[in-house]
Structure 1
């Protein structure tokens, strides 16, 4: 028996490769599927099944492409409705994989078709569960993404309570838990940084698995503090239901070198968005006018999904040397398939052609602190709501980067804003978007709140009402 977790940090997502006696099952594959095909081939094995735990909202799964290339059967849980051929498993149905058995446990709640796959070893002993977004380490999946006219998030939360207690908690404590996500995913509230655990530990430490918790208490706790889902979630879920373009086609179309003349023409006449994926330090120093920064060195794909509202938006890239294929691939993981090429030679080629660049003023936290002490400074905090509530600068204006497109009317183009996030990545994203929308008086605070806290500027902390 071979089990391999293939974890992708940018998406905080775990796919799984399971092999026995030359037969392979893949669970929740990424969009680029050649890695699974190559591994099976290197082991003289054949991919037999592609198990999907649910219709993913946070990324486009590779199940359709992988089935086309291997002939493997796509398996979803009960009630899954797709535009392509699948096998819809019945609750408790078993699938043979070499000497192993994989049992489908229907666990609705995160979504209606959500299914946990229980792996039994060659002796029939329960070995592991692949829980998708039903159970994370430290948390459970949010139950507000699959709302229908006749269902509420409370209804789904109640289903999730039943699924956890009737299907998962009765399993033995030594069963290994393999979730679909870890910390950083928007599919839950407080996921652990660990990506593999055991069920017994979750029964002791996961708030959602408390033995004495009533259904009403569970519903209240699981729904409290959930941020609104990113705008791309519903669109990705639909792609996973209906199918999508072949990844090979998307990569071939997008990984095309463009000379500055062609690059500029696409931006001007084809309304292509110039997306700069270098580091925030490179962007601050030099960038193409009206370009948007979202760096590959951060949570690139989720931020693209949160901020670029149209999946069909034509995109052209400014990339570090040798990173064009990676950028196109990571865009496709969240459904952005309309990349048209990248600037060959990068920003240096742009400047060598005689074209202008712009810069963004960026100052240290110490310089920022001195400016605040000397005069009234407009401070814009673009961290998430929870981060801001935990601790923030006095008199700082706040809205989360996630919702910057909805909040631009809250700031004044005639004023100068000092922008900060937690570490300096998100503030440059925010500044680039504002700059492209005509806000010129922007100053980035390098190092973000992490650096600002080391100065003597006064901060305010959120006080829980229960302590008042």
Structure 2
């Protein structure tokens, strides 16, 4: 029996292909199903079942299209209301695929109808459990995505679900979650790349705390929900359209200039330092090379707004397109390929400075009234920030841009990635940003090392 992991690092998720004797089972496939199809061809297997642990909140599934393409049964939790034919998975059901048996366990918490799948061989020996957004590595799936009125109920349910998994499965059972590798579907950060049920008994909060302590701690630690999440559940219930990975329509410099002048969302995919050194006026920097790309495009770009990409190569644009279709950003307005110098239509590229926390410390010492923006989330700011800085989380910046004075403004975050997005947004409005490119908590070069960390700067 072979279990293959299909990583989607941009969303912090994993899908799985389980195969035995030429038969395959796919669990929680992402929308770009060509990766799954290529893997099944490599393994020489026929997909018999496509399973969903839940209606996902952080991506559009490829399960409906995949099952139709290969003629497999499509299995979705029985309690979920969907607009397509499926095999309902209810607690206690056993699904068969060649010599494999998958027992359904109702494990509510991440959603009301969430299920896990216990994999056994033909002799009934348990081989693995696929836990979706239930038991994660050192954490659990968050419980506030269905709606705030359900959070308390679902958090109690999550505790009991994880306990059920631990009680009913052998300690040596390998755990294969869908979320938890940087996904915002995780209630708290996860740890490790593999684990067993027995391992989790020692580290998972649902297994080391009493129920009320777990509930109180999980709810207190919930962070902001990415904006695009509100579109994923309904999209998965309705059934996503077949994926389209074709190249966006080419945009020439004159058309690109018009879109920039109109204030449309034109995203430059280059590294933040390359962008800062020279970019088209009005372009915004969402660095593709970092795993957070799709998270922050989905979070910041208004849903359905025209979106144009600028890439250094066609391959870079294709990679960005793949990332975006996973969350349902299907209809791009177009794409341009080349350097800023190649794509200018009269206006020269512009730039802004890049510094670090040591440079920021020197600037603050020279001008205590310096405007400094902290673009981190509220939970990060709770641990303190740069003294004298103003806290405007990146996902709030477009709505709060008027709070930023005109003129020079330094901006930082936890790593430099979100600060780069913020700097480009500020530059588009005519302000003069300085990007602080570095890790806030880095022991050698971060804020504390530069003498800037203020534990009381929480507002």
TM-score (normalizing by structure 1) = 0.91
Is the alpha carbon distance of 1:365 and 1:79 closer, same or farther for their aligned partners in structure 2, counting shifts above 3 Å?
same
Q: Which residue of 1 aligns with 2:214?
A: 218
- Structure 1 unmatched ranges of 5 or more: none
Deviations 1:74-116 (A, max 9, x none): 1111211112221111211011121110111111111012110
Q: Does 1:41 align with 2:41?
A: yes
CA distance in 2, matches of 1:226, 1:439: 35
Q: Does 1:348 align with 2:348?
A: no
Is the alpha carbon distance of 1:463 and 1:273 closer, same or farther for their aligned partners in structure 2, counting shifts above 3 Å?
closer
> How many corresponding residue pairs?
452
Is the alpha carbon distance of 1:442 and 1:334 closer, same or farther for their aligned partners in structure 2, counting shifts above 3 Å?
same
Of residues 271-280 and 6-15 in structure 1, the stretch that sits farther from structure 2 once superposed is: 271-280
SS in 1 for 2:198: helix
Q: Which residue of 2 aligns with 1:230?
A: 226
CA distance in 2, matches of 1:402, 1:40: 39
SS in 2 for 1:383: coil
Partners of 1:126 and 1:175 within 8 A in 2: yes
Q: Which residue of 2 aligns with 1:85?
A: 85
CA distance in 2, matches of 1:145, 1:324: 31
Is the alpha carbon distance of 1:222 and 1:28 closer, same or farther for their aligned partners in structure 2, counting shifts above 3 Å?
same
Partners of 2:309 and 2:336 within 8 A in 1: yes
Q: Which residue of 2 aligns with 1:110?
A: 110
Alignment of 1:318-329 (within 5 A): 318-321=310-313, 322-329=315-322
SS in 1 for 2:333: strand
Q: Does 1:182 align with 2:180?
A: yes
By how many angstroms is 1:390 displaced? 2.4
Q: Does 1:242 align with 2:238?
A: yes
Q: Does 1:6 align with 2:14?
A: no
Deviations 1:127-170 (A, max 9, x none): 2111001111111111111138xx52111112222222234433
Q: Which residue of 2 aligns with 1:330?
A: 323
SS in 1 for 2:61: coil
CA distance in 1, matches of 2:363, 2:260: 37
Partners of 1:380 and 1:398 within 8 A in 2: yes
By how many angstroms is 1:73 displaced? 1.8
SS in 1 for 2:179: coil
CA distance in 2, matches of 1:404, 1:237: 26
- Structure 2 unmatched ranges of 5 or more: none
By how many angstroms is 1:10 displaced? 1.4
Partners of 2:156 and 2:215 within 8 A in 1: yes
TM-score (normalizing by structure 2) = 0.92
SS in 2 for 1:10: coil
Deviations 1:222-274 (A, max 9, x none): 212101211111111211111223213xx22x4333322343345567x7521
Of residues 448-457 and 126-135 in structure 1, the stretch that sits farther from structure 2 once superposed is: 448-457
CA distance in 2, matches of 1:264, 1:458: 40
Q: Which residue of 2 aligns with 1:392?
A: 385
Partners of 1:369 and 1:452 within 8 A in 2: no
CA distance in 2, matches of 1:264, 1:293: 16
By how many angstroms is 1:448 displaced? 4.9
Is the alpha carbon distance of 1:364 and 1:137 closer, same or farther for their aligned partners in structure 2, counting shifts above 3 Å?
closer
Partners of 1:37 and 1:47 within 8 A in 2: no
Deviations 1:47-72 (A, max 9, x none): 11111111111111211221232122
CA distance in 1, matches of 2:215, 2:180: 22
Pairing partner for 1:446 from 413, 437, 447: 437
CA distance in 2, matches of 1:344, 1:26: 36
Q: Which residue of 2 aligns with 1:304?
A: 297
Q: Which residue of 2 aligns with 1:159?
A: 157
By how many angstroms is 1:415 displaced? 4.4
Deviations 1:288-331 (A, max 9, x none): 22112111122111111111121x22211111223111011111
